[in-house]
Amino acid sequence: MPDKIPNVIATEDLISRVAAKAKATSTALPPAATAEEVAEAEAVLGFVLPPLLASLYREVANGGYGPDYQLLPLVGPGRTVLSDYQSERSASAEEETPYWPTGVLPILDWGCGMYAAVDCRSETATVLLFDPNAMTDNGAEAWFVDAGSLAEWLKTWLAGTGWYREDADECEDVAEPTPWEMAASRIAE
């Protein structure tokens, strides 16, 4: 159990830093999702959210903050994480070449059909980039690893060092997304 204490402290610190930046950079944050709303979303999805993602929705806000276009709300009226996941899974199932794997939750719409998505089956909650513009022969070509974990992705946002920032092409320290090697097998499941 002692090994868990530093992880809990690190997670609490990260959530606190995210909340502070969210409040400083967003004009009107929506209220946080309740524990019941998170549980209901998980029941509809058929899988649990990674603990850090669930904590962000319960403790910071129900979306409305984060890199550029900001996190989608988990639940509520209009467009949500839940509705976008269901829509992408449904559209993917209708395609000759499916493209959206089970358990990969869109959390941020980058525009032009691109999403930041969290692999809810990954122990670290890997953050993926879905770019349909990269698709030629199969859906797996559209998937890239943006960050090895949700925590890493959030730290990149907090530090202002993400690939998506305006001057990223001028910086050597910016990590570009790399192809997601598990995409084809996960889509085929």
Q: What's residue 1's pLDDT?
A: 45
pLDDT digits (tens, 9 = 90+) for 17-67: 999 999 998 888 999 999 999 999 999 999 999 999 999 999 999 999 998
User: Are 17 and 25 within 8 A, CB to CB?
Assistant: no
The model's pTM is 0.90
The full set of domain ranges for the chain reads: 4-188
**Is the pLDDT score of 79 beyond 90?**
yes
Tell me the per-residue pLDDT of 112-150, one tens digit each, with 9 for 90 and over. 999 999 999 999 999 999 999 988 878 899 999 999 999
Structure tokens at 122: 């990954």
66: left (phi over 0), alpha (psi -120 to 50) or beta: left
* Domain spanning 4-188: CATH superfamily: SMI1/KNR4-like (3.40.1580.10)
